Structure 1
Amino acid sequence: MTNFHEEETLGKAYDSKLMKRLLTYTKPYWLYILICVILLMAVTLGDLARPYILKYAIDDSIRGYLEPMYVLHKNTVVEGITYKDKLYVREKNAISLSKELLEDAEIKTIVKSKGVHYLVDGAIKNDADEFTIEKKDNSFLLLKDGDRYSATLLSDEDYRLFRENDIFNLKSIGKIFLLIIIVSFIFNYTQVYILNYTSQKIIFNIRQEIFSHLQKMSLSYFDKNPVGRLVTRVTNDTEALNEMYSSVLVTLFKDVFLLIGIVITMLNMNVKLALFSLSVLPFIIIASIIFRINIRRVYRTVRVQLARINSSLNENITGMKTIHIFKKENKKFREFDEINKDYLNATKEEIQLYAIFRPIIEIIRSLGLTLIIWIGGKNVINGAIEFGVLYAFINYLQMFFEPILDLTEKYNILQAAMASSERIFMILDTEEDIKNGDNPVALESVKGKIEFKNVWFAYEKDNWVLRDVSFTINPGETVAFVGATGAGKTSIISLINRFYDIQKGQILIDGIDIKYLDKYSLRKRIGIVLQDVFLFTGTIKDNIRLNNMDISDEEIVDVAKYVNAHSFIEKFPKKYEEPVMERGSTLSAGQRQLLAFARALAFKPDILVLDEATSNIDTETELLIQDALDKIVKGRTTIAIAHRLSTIQRSNKIVVLHKGRIREIGSHQELLNKGGMYYDLYRLQYKEDFQDNNQ
């Protein structure tokens, strides 16, 4: 069951050492990440360019005709409109011309009144509410602030002529704007794809590393670490890292680029208005700090409550059979309901914090917009700035708050990633306690001689399971170990496979200390059939072969026939391709045991270990197995552990263990004749037979 209390010990929201280590996983993909950063910079530039382009379109094209125009000779080399053999050049386009030329030039302005356009002599501020147009004879006068200006009525065709360049520019701007949108979309799609691909590859490698490391750990490690916790590390915690790699690592650059870009662009357009706009920044910083402090506390609570739910689910679903047997459904439901409510309350508190923080940011954003509209609007009216600048500022300020909200989300992701990485590295930093030596001896084959010399072993310090155990098993012998539960029988098997290391003494295989053997080649030469058979999800054939493609289909059928499993396999609709559900739940105990025998023999072991292999078998199946055992043990060293003494009577030797010590060794008949501990065990198991014989 997962220990949820460990979730409470969240480290810092950002740990430079952990981050440095996490970044080492990105090294093989540095080029992909660099491409993503470059693409994000391009996308950011596109985002920054859009309001500026719209500002240009508004001020230079849509409202550009309102600017005063210099009337020059038509051959003057400058951008303008030729009208009645004269070149009309707007003030912005006339910057490159000499002062002398401009001082001698006439100035004219296009104004609009009651839907009609006029060409007026002089620089006129375009505000229809502040001037009137009078017609006198065949000419027109513009009256403004007591001054009179000559005006000429422009036909629709003349007005279109003055707007010809504006229309052309707007078409070009529209194409550029569309191109920026399309290119930004392509770049954004490409970087999202590459970034997520890279992130998944990194997480794939981390999962592989964790799983590979777990496979190297000894059984004592799994004795101390619940399965639920380890599964959480490989799934939930790696997923938290995935979010960091995909949502924080690179996209953080975009948020920073965007914020810096917006500030620089606004200052470049109008320093005074930019400073007014950014005056709300201190309020944002204060709100973010308060939010960060509170969300960290709430986030920790949510993590703890979620871990409790996972723990409760794991325990209850695993023990559902027991719950049904003892009719504890209501009690367990109430317990889960209470845990679920605690989680609900924690998440509600988290939602409330976001519900307060986001509107506060929106209020601050609105205050910033109010300042821009108030101050910028007055400047537009006074002619200090253009309307397009005000429009761009409003857009930039709205954009400014998006990365700020994104950064608050990224803070949570980063906090989860730091906590998850700490727990993941805790696993990876746990050293393999059963290691191969510097030059391990690889076993190509084993004769089968096994020696224990004064072996002492304890799972925990000084709590000895085996005490000064010594015995020899010769090649080809069948030796049985018997004794009460806890006597140390199964521990002997674990030690022969070097699943654990002994504290004192020596264990030798064919005269070589197993500490100097390659542990993988050693285990390959030993076949084990356990009391509790574990079958994997797949097919019957897969469970016999265990992904070893060197074992042919014909060999699988042969070993199945050898252990009398072929007959029941053939009865399935798909025979050897019949699906096996999780842990072989659709098969009987006897069928699972027979498949375990077939699996062990398929790997052609030199040493065969039977750990209570027939204790869960019905009488009929036991007869089938006994028939197979007579054939299996020939030419092979066999170790059998059994409570049912009937299965070991033909063993060459029987070793009687009691409280970690060897009390008796001998054949079945020798031990009975001795009248010792084995005799007492046998008499207890076959009490009725003894009573009949005594009568």
Structure 2
Amino acid sequence: MAAYEEQEYNNPFSFRIWMKLFPFFKPYKKFFAITLGLNILLAGVDILVPLFQSYAIDTFIIPDRLDGLGVFTLVYISVIVAQTVCVYVSVHAATSIEMNVGKDLKRAQFKHLQTLSFSYYNTTPVGYIHARVMSDTLRIAGMIAWGLVDMFWALIYVVSVFVIMFMLNAQLAFIITMIVPCIALLTVYFQNRILKWNRKVRRINSQITSAYNEGITGVKTSKSMVIESDNEKRFFEKTSDMHQAAIRSAKLNAVYIPAILFFSSVASAVVLAKGGYMVQENIIKLGTLSVFISYAVVIFEPIQQLARLLAELISC
């Protein structure tokens, strides 16, 4: 079983490289437009839901009245139904982009492989080529179909939420804003390390696939030279390396996610304490406090998602 070391690519992120992929996405610009448009609507709905709750608290619950509740209920249900339809259509469009772009990338890579010299195939295992073609095309297509769209949604959501919070009450908004740098630093620290180990897992996985292929196609040679035990030993070394790398990545995730939840809980607790005092002093309404608590609980997820997707985009 010949050892093959994959070349490391550590070049900095370049838009020029991504622009080379533009011809693969251009035929599906209609799906991109649909997905982006619907994600703008979805971001708007996600932003409005806490405001709906605030209106219900201040208009119906606190005054203990039901006038207009029927109209409010119909509007709220209509928004939720519209959100459901938008999610369905958006997922369908994004899936179409992912599948079609992946198909076109695989076809282009297959044609390119036919033009390579014999020396390339003499030095590069077939299993490795197969693993990289399948995994890389899927990863790139998924990043374009889902990653960029999710980044677009997260950016709109985060900016809009902070604008609304500062419009409602700058003091409570500033409390939540103070936690954001902690989340950002934590995300950058952990995501870089998680991506490092995930890259190693993918690299070893391609080597394992290559070993599978060589083990099957070279079985006669292995038996004639009586090297089955050596091949098995090297194969188990590779699988052990992949196992350890996957566990290391999982351990980092196991620390990272609770840490994010901790800071989110701290922000919610501080907002609840300060906001509760402001409600008692009639500085803000109870509905406004509910908006801040809702935003404090969920605002860090899109920030975390935005940082993670940027890191993945750079690593692709």
TM-score for both structures, normalised by structure 1: 0.43
Q: How does 1:573-588 map to 2 (within 5 A)?
A: none
SS at match of 1:383: coil
Aligned ranges 1:381-396 → 2 under 5 Å = 381-396=280-295
1:17–1:239 Cα change, 3 Å: same
Q: Is 1:47–2:46 an aligned residue pair?
A: yes
CA–CA distance in structure 1, aligned partners of residues 304 and 7 of structure 2 = 27
Hey, what does 1:8 align to over in structure 2? 8
CA displacement at 1:35 relative to structure 2: 1.8
Change (3 A) 1:305 1:211: closer
1:17 aligns with 2:4: no
For residues 346-357 of structure 1, what are the structure 2 equivalents within 5 Å?
346-357=245-256
When residues 297 and 221 of structure 1 are mapped into structure 2, their CA distance, relative to the original with a 3 A threshold, is closer
Q: CA deviation at 1:300?
A: 3.6
2:220, 2:266 → 1: CA distance? 61
Displacement after TM superposition at 1:222 (Å):
4.0
Equivalence for 2:156? 257
Going from structure 1 to structure 2, the CA distance change for 1:324 and 1:408 (only over 3 Å counts) comes to farther
Give 2:274's match in structure 1, choosing from 367, 372, 375.
Answer: 375
Q: CA deviation at 1:365?
A: 0.4
| Over 6 Å off, 4+ runs | none
Q: In 2, distance between residues paired with 1:240 and 1:2? A: 27
In 2, the alpha carbon distance for the partners of 1:174 and 1:206 equals: 48
**Change over 3 Å in CA distance of 1:3–1:278 after alignment to 2:** farther
Letter in 2 for 1:384: I
CA drift of 1:323 comes to 4.2
Cα distance, 1:333 vs structure 2: 3.0
Identity %: 27
- CA distance 1:194–1:11, shift in 2 (3 Å): same
SS, match of residue 178 in structure 1: helix
1:341: which partner in 2? Answer: 240
**Matches of 2:106 and 2:207 in 1, distance apart?**
24
Change over 3 Å in CA distance of 1:202–1:327 after alignment to 2: same
Letter in 1 for 2:164: T
Q: Which residue of 2 aligns with 1:87?
A: none
Q: CA distance change for structure 1 residues 170 and 320 in 2, over 3 Å: closer, same or farther?
A: farther
Establish whether residue 175 from structure 1 lines up as the match of residue 106 from structure 2.
no
**Please, which of 159, 171, 181 is the counterpart of residue 282 of structure 1?**
181
Question: In the alignment, which of 106, 129, 132 is matched to residue 207 of structure 1?
Answer: 106
Contact 1:379–1:385 (CA<8 Å) still a contact in 2? yes
The corresponding residue for 1:241 is 140
TM-aligned CA deviation for residue 200 of structure 1: 1.8
- Secondary structure of 1:64's aligned partner: coil
CA distance in 2 between partners of 1:177 and 1:300 (Å): 44
2:189 is aligned with 1:190: no
DSSP-derived class of the 2:174 partner: helix
**Cα distance in 2, alignment partners of residues 7 and 274 from structure 1:** 48
Task: Tell me, in whole angstroms, the C-alpha distance in 2 between the residues paired with 1:215 and 1:333.
Answer: 32
Alignment partner of 1:385: what SS?
A: coil
Q: 1:233 to 1:346 in 2, by over 3 A?
A: closer
Query: 1:220 deviation in Å?
Result: 5.4
Could you say which residue in structure 1 is the equivalent of 2:262? Answer: 363
Residue 192 (structure 2) aligns with: 293
Query: What is the distance in 2 between the residues matched to 1:339 and 1:329?
Result: 15
Taking only aligned residues, the RMSD between alpha carbons, in angstroms, comes to: 2.4
Give the number of the structure whose residues are more often strand, by fraction. Answer: 1
TM-score normalised by L of structure 2: 0.90
Taking the aligned partners of 1:216 and 1:318, their CA distance within structure 2 comes to 23
Deviations 1:281-336 (A, max 9, x none): 11112212212332343334333332332232222233334445566544433332
Find the aligned partners of 2:2 and 2:96 in 1 and give their Cα distance: 31
Contact persistence 2:184–2:304 (CA under 8 A) = no
**Which residues in structure 2 correspond to 1:459-538 (within 5 Å)?**
none
Question: 2:283 is paired with a residue of what secondary structure?
Answer: coil
Q: Which runs of 5+ in 2 are unaligned?
A: none
Structure 1 unaligned spans of 5+: 66-162, 418-695
- 1:327/1:216 Cα in 2 relative to 1: closer, same or farther (>3 Å)? closer
